[in-house]
Chain A
Amino acid sequence: MELSNNPSSDSRYAIELRHVTKQFRIRHQGSLKRAILGAFKPKRVELFTALQDVSFAIPHGQTVAVVGKNGSGKSTLLALLARIYRANAGEIILQNQEGKRPKIAPLLELGAGFHLDLSGLENIQFYGSLLGMSQKSLDAKIDSIIEFSELKDKVDTPLRNWNDGAKLRLGFSIAVHTDLDILLVDEVLAVGDEAFRNKCSQRISELQDAGKTIVFITHELGSAERIASRIIWLSQGSVRMDGDTASVLEAYRKASRDGTI
């Protein structure tokens, strides 16, 4: 998988996928016993194809929503972009406007790296560096992160005693304060109360205005319509339709009604 600075790549694009296929092996249990017993049997590998020959290119600064029903490959796609998985075939080229390696902030299941025994402040330090922030930029932004998350003095207490909403607010706040080029969002926009959700939307549109590239998965067509300028519709691991928000949504809704989705 090519990570950056491919001479043959087009620097207009933040994200470029060329014939990307991702397969998972289905293994039925992992244990040493099985491995030893299995050594004497012929290997039978079951493969599950999550994405099949997917190609598209997203220019810098575009906001793209990925829609499709469960199991259509949306999460696999996002995980490939976040470099959690490696593709089995094809190329994924990610770059920032200078053609260098971009900073990617994943908003996937917020707070995956939180530790409940540590205070909010300690978690900001850790989660921030997990998302690739340097110590310097963390020091510079820490006040702004706390302010945005509306936690006030609570940041000095361990996360164990926080409610879920507070944890989500902190996670979101850290993620949007990273020096990101590409933001990946996995159905988390619907966090917190109404007021915080508005603040999130506002922050997202600020990022859009600042020319950041955003890819998000959603089941909520309303938010896709509001935020995205382009929609990629995945179906059974392939791109079924890729185009401007209005026309893809129209087709998607029609297929939904007809049950041919």
Chain B
Amino acid sequence: MLNELKEFWRFRDLLRQMLARELKIRYKNSIFGFLWSIVPPLLQVVVYTFLVRGVFSATAKNYSAYALCGLIPWTFFQTAILDSCQSLLANYGVIRKIYLPREIIPFSYVLSNMIHFVLGWAVYFAVFAVILRFFNMGIPLLPSMLWLPVIIVVESLLVTGLSLWMAALNVFYEDIKFLLATLFNLMFFCLPILYPADVVYYSDVVQRHPWIYKLYLLNPITGIITAFRKTILQPESPGSFVVRLQGKPALPMDWPLFGLTSLISLGIAVAGYGYFNYKKWQFVERP
């Protein structure tokens, strides 16, 4: 594995070029360009806020800050994996003709999404922690926000590992991308993106079988989204999301569990990279 990493490093110029190309092409033939990275998530938040406030009558203050805290990591997770899943076949002409460490291709897509991810957080803090505070609508600064870079790194590990893994699999089984698209659609509603994990914790089924909650949080992306939310925002009682739960206390940040999430993410990163290297010489021999 060390040799593979060295080889990867030798080609860092190419990685830079691929990344630049990816970022350039993305909005090349569109009129609104970079706005396409900003406007759709904002519209999403408007609709979700209406849905949660108006239809499910939640009373959470500042729901948009709350929802974005889940949407930003989720969007990175989903788009990076789907993008890199397609990447090897999209660049099949190149890998069939020219030698390069093939992990550069999916990794460049992960990196370009990572850049959007970090920019997303920058915009988030500029808007909610700075600008809106002048109008008394923002979020207070908390010392626990300093954990943000650590959680970003953990999510990046997870996403890199899964992306390499799925990219390698998708060369041989193109069902993978359909499978993932379906899974992600379902996960969006099952994971605590629009609502806190606490709501799941207090649900009747989980109260009767607490191990389900443990299992739920063992999914690393659940743990990561929950960690973002619990370090960036003040605790919000689950009652302000689901009326029935009024009076129940918000759960504290579970640090041992986050430690486990980090370990699992690291494990997935190593396993994904290993699997990719194990398969990468067979990509060009695909039938």
Contact = CB atoms under 8 A, between A and B. Distances in A.
Contacts of A84: 95-99, 284
Nearest to B18: A126
A106 interface: yes
A83 B95 CA distance: 10
12 contacts: A29-B287, A30-B174, A30-B286, A33-B175, A79-B284, A82-B99, A84-B97, A112-B94, A117-B28, A117-B29, A129-B14, A129-B17
A108 B97 contact: yes
Contact of B175 (A31, A83, A109, A129): A31
B186 to A, nearest CB: 18
Interface in A80-106: 82-86, 104, 106
Given A86-B281, A113-B93, A135 B99 contact: no
| 5 A-B pairs with the lowest CB-CB distances in the bound complex, closest first | A112-B97, A83-B99, A32-B175, A27-B287, A129-B17
B103 to A, nearest CB: 15
Contacts of A33: 175
Nearest to A125: B17
B99 A126 contact: no
Contacts, number: 84
A118 B21 contact: yes
B99 A104 contact: yes
B contact patch SS = helix
B28 A130 contact: no
A32 B98 CA distance: 28
Interface string A112-139: 1101011000100110011110110000
Given A24-B285, A25-B285, A31-B175, A112 B17 contact: no
Nearest to B100: A130
Contacts of B173: 30-32, 35
Interface string A26-60: 11111111010000000000000000000000000
Interface residues of B, number: 31
Q: How large is the interface on A (under 10, 10 to 19, 20 to 34, 35 or more residues)?
A: 35 or more
A130 B286 contact: no
A134 B94 CA distance: 19
Contacts of B24: 118, 122
B194 to A, nearest CB: 31
Contacts of B281: 85-86
Interface string A66-84: 0000000000000100111
Given A82-B99, A132-B14, 7 more contacts: A30-B287, A108-B97, A109-B97, A113-B94, A122-B24, A126-B21, A130-B98
A245 to B, nearest CB: 28
A31 B98 contact: no
A26 to B, nearest CB: 7
